[in-house]
Amino acid sequence: MKVICGLGNPGERYRYSRHNVGFRVVDLLADRWGLAGAGRVREGAAVLDATLPGPIGRVLLVKPMRYMNNSGSGLRAAMRQTDADAAVDLLVVADDIDLPLGRVRLRRSGSAGGHNGLRDIIATLGSDEFNRLRVGIGRSGHAVEHVLAIFKPGERELAAEAVATATDAAERWLRDGIEEAMNEFNGIDLAEPPE
């Protein structure tokens, strides 16, 4: 079983904030796969269970619901319901202020890079050995205010494209693994016009 965990903050107030692009990727996956509803909320996480055709099989979509800084406990509770090995079978989707808007980056493992949700997951799982997909949101002004703000009107179309591209990258990870997904998506810059 594979697990895709999107990070964000629960509640309507944060729904379209920069910090919630991880939630948006999970929601778009659920829409693409025809999954209805928000899933069940249990032990601090909203969880949707999907069975996809072909070799992919079962996928658990997870959104921790205890705010960004406490993402780890909800993910750990969801992971306990599976036979997934975090080092191989987990993909965490998070925003990244160090990546420009319009860029995504996949990595096999690594540090939290200043992201409190990733930091809590690393501490809770006791390892930084899990795949992650970072969605660029750019940097501007005070970091906390920036990540909690919604995208500006001129950024919204590019942000939606970035979420769709990150969703494509998550699906590629499911089908072909981290290396293939990295090779296809890490060089894409949606803000640059195609040649």
Identify the structural domains of the chain with CATH numbers, from first to last.
Answer: 2-185 (3.40.50.1470)
Query: What is the average pLDDT value for the chain, to the nearest integer?
Result: 90
**DSSP secondary-structure letter at 169?**
H
Residue pLDDT, tens place only, 102-113: 999 999 998 888
How many percent of the chain have pLDDT more than 90?
65
* Cα 175–Cα 193–Cα 186 angle in degrees, nearest 5: 30
Count Cα atoms within 13 angstroms, Cβ side, for 143: 7
For residues 66 and 95, is the Cβ–Cβ distance under 8 A? no
Amino acid, res. 33: W
- In angstroms, the CA 64 to CA 57 distance is 23
- C-alpha distances (whole Å) from 27 to each of 9, 79, 124, 176 are 13, 19, 24, 21
Position 194 confidence tier, pLDDT thresholds 50, 70, 90: low
Spell out the alpha helix ranges (H) of 4-141.
Answer: 21-32, 71-79, 86-89, 116-125
d(CA 4, CA 142): 29
pLDDT at 117 over 70: yes
Tell me what pLDDT residue 37 has: 63
Catalytic residue list contains 19: yes
Please tell me whether the overall predicted TM-score, pTM, comes out greater than 0.85 for this model. Answer: yes
195: confidence class by pLDDT, cuts 50, 70, 90? low
Number of other CB atoms surrounding residue 152 within 10 Å:
10
Question: How far is the C-alpha of 103 from the C-alpha of 138, rounded, in Å?
Answer: 9
Span 135-147, pLDDT tens digits: 999 887 677 788 8
pLDDT of the residue at 85: 94
Which is catalytic among the residues 19, 115, 142, 146?
A: 19
Q: How far apart are CA 28 and CA 168, in angstroms?
A: 10
CA distances from 31 to 3, 61, 128 (A): 17, 12, 29
